[in-house]
Structure 1
Amino acid sequence: MTHYRIHPIVMGTKQFDMGMMTYQHGYGRSTTIPIYCWYLEGGDQVVIVDTGEMHPVQSEDREQAIGGRIYTFEAGLARHNLNPERIDKVIHTHLHNDHCENDFKCTNAEIFVHPQEMKHIHNPHPLDFRYVPDYLEEVEQNGQIRLVEVDAEIVDGIRVMHTPAHTEGGLTVLVETTAGTAAITGFCVINENFFPPKQIRAMEMEVIPPGTHVNAYEAYDIMVKVKEVADILLPLHEPCFADGRPIP
């Protein structure tokens, strides 16, 4: 089996109330979270997870808040001697705009996404304004979209698991590494969601569901399942990976 090193690359940030990340917890506390593209190094194809923002805010205060540099898509890939045209496969955790704004630059890539995400990007519910069809229009017209409806292997050592916690078509990406299976979560959380503070654990809660979710009960159960199958947890917006150090 192929083993990979995972390179987190910050390609954007968001500033908002912590309650957007941690359901029923942390309201009134401001936070800054990174938006990642993950480069999976190791196979004979160039594979990334998500593509980040097209025009990220690059400021000293935001970089200090997350503890790492913020890159444009091209500059972030260049750190690994890559460019958008060299990408063979893009795997999407989901299609909220901050995870797919640079897809159109990956002109030679197959783009893997759950059918429910395509459904919602074309007909989003008014509550879910984060779906913006413009960012997928070009790659869809070019026939680059590959629908993944069930848990499946994308390439040797990389597979996806349907985890509809944050969105109905969320895909958690399971990556084999020398230190075990790493899970890039298909839902927007940080470490605190998987490892709650003492006062939350005292309420007999193992995890905290995402602040934005499809169904809070199901999201909780999905998180527990991901926690059980992964040796390494990579919450989708956890700042501790913003320094860009490879995993493992």
Structure 2
Amino acid sequence: MTQFRIHPIVMGTKIFDKSMMTYQYGAGERYTIPIYCWYLEGGEQKILVDTGEMNPIQSEDREAAIGGKIYTFEEGLDRWGLKPEEIDIVIHTHLHNDHCENDYKCVNARFFIHSKELETIHAPHPLDFRYLEDYIDEIEANDQIERISADREIVPGIEVIHTPAHTAGGLTVMVSTSAGQAAITGFCVIMENFEPPKEIRAMEMDVIPPGTHVNVYEAYDWMVRVKDRADILIPLHEPCFAGVDTIP
């Protein structure tokens, strides 16, 4: 089986209350999260997970907060000798705007997206304000989307599993690496969600659900399943990867 190296590329940030990541914990704490695009290097195809923000704020204070450099889409890909038009596959964890704003630049890519995400982005509930269909209009018009309806292999060494914790169509991307199976989570969390502090563990909680979720009980259970399955956990917004070139 093909083994991949995972390259985290920061393509944006958000500053908000920490409890947006950690359900009922960390309220009132100002927290900066990185927004990533992940380049999966290995095999014959050039593969990304998510595409990040279109116009990220690039500032010293935000880079200091996350511990790494913030790139535009083109700058980030160029670090690995890539151009947007050279991308063959994009796998979407979900379609909140900060994960898909650069889709239209990948004119030759196939986009793997869960069907429930596509349903939601076109008919969002008022609470689903993070969905903006403008960001996928072009790839839909160009027939670049392949709908996912069940767990499946994308290419040898890369599998997606449906994990409806953060959104109804969330996909966790399982990647074969030299150090085992890495899980790029299909829900927006940080490492603290998977490794809670002692005061949370004292309440017999093994994980902290994401602050934004479809059903908090099911989100908790999905997190436990992903944690049990993965050798390497890659939470979508964990700052420690901002200064890392390659996983593992």
The equivalent residue for 1:108 is 108
Distance 2:245 2:46 in 1: 19
Cα deviation per residue 1:138-172 (whole Å; 9 max; x = unaligned)?
00000000001100000010000000000000000
Q: Deviations over 1:62-110 (max 9, x none)?
A: 0000000000000000000000000000000000000000000000000
Equivalent residue, structure 2, for 1:162: 162
Distance 1:120 1:244 in 2: 33
Matches within 5 A, 1:134-149: 134-149=134-149
Q: Aligned equivalents of 2:17 and 2:24: distance in 1?
A: 12
Matched, 1:28 2:28: yes
AA partner of residue 154 (structure 1)? I
Q: For 1:188 and 1:162, how far apart are their aligned partners in 2?
A: 14
Consecutive aligned runs of 4 or more in structure 1 exceeding 4 Å deviation: none
| Counterpart AA for 1:160 | V
Count how many residue pairs are aligned between Structure 1 and Structure 2. Answer: 248
Instruction: Report how far residue 244 of structure 1 moved.
Output: 3.1
Partner residue in 1 for 2:222: 222
The CA distance in 2 between the partners of 1:76 and 1:188, in whole Å, is 21
Give the residue type in structure 2 aligned to 1:3: Q
Partner Cα distance (1:196, 1:26) in 2: 11
1:92 maps to 92
Report SS of the residue matched to 1:214. Answer: coil
Using the TM superposition, give the Cα deviation of residue 245 of structure 1 relative to its aligned residue in structure 2, in angstroms: 2.1
Deviation at 1:128, TM superposition (A): 1.1
- In 1, Cα distance between equivalents of 2:124 and 2:145: 19
Q: Distance in 2 between matches of 1:19 and 1:3?
A: 35
Match of 1:243 in 2: 243
| Pairing 1:9–2:13 present | no
Question: C-alpha separation between the residues in 1 aligned to 2:178 and 2:121?
Answer: 36
Write the mapping of 1:50-199 to structure 2, written as runs, cut at 5 A: 50-199=50-199
> What residue identity is the alignment partner of 2:11?
M
Q: Report the CA distance between 1:36 and its aligned residue.
A: 0.2
Q: Give the aligned residue type for 1:209.
A: P
The residue identity in structure 1 corresponding to 2:37 is C
- Give aligned-pair identity as a percent: 71
Structure-2 separation of matches of 1:158 and 1:210: 24
For structure 1, the 5+ residue unaligned runs are: none
SS at match of 2:206: coil
Per-residue CA deviations over 1:205-226 (Å, capped at 9, x if unaligned) read: 0000000000000000000000
* SS of equivalent to 1:68: coil
Cα distance per residue 1:180-230 (max 9 Å; x no partner): 000000000000000000000000000000000000000000000000110
Whole-Å Cα distance in 2 between the matches of residues 123 and 234 of structure 1?
Answer: 30
Distance (Å, rounded) in 2 between the aligned partners of 1:56 and 1:120 = 25
- Offset, 1:178: 0.4
Is 2:216 the partner of 1:213? no
- Once the two structures are TM-superposed, the CA of residue 44 in structure 1 deviates from its matched residue by 0.4
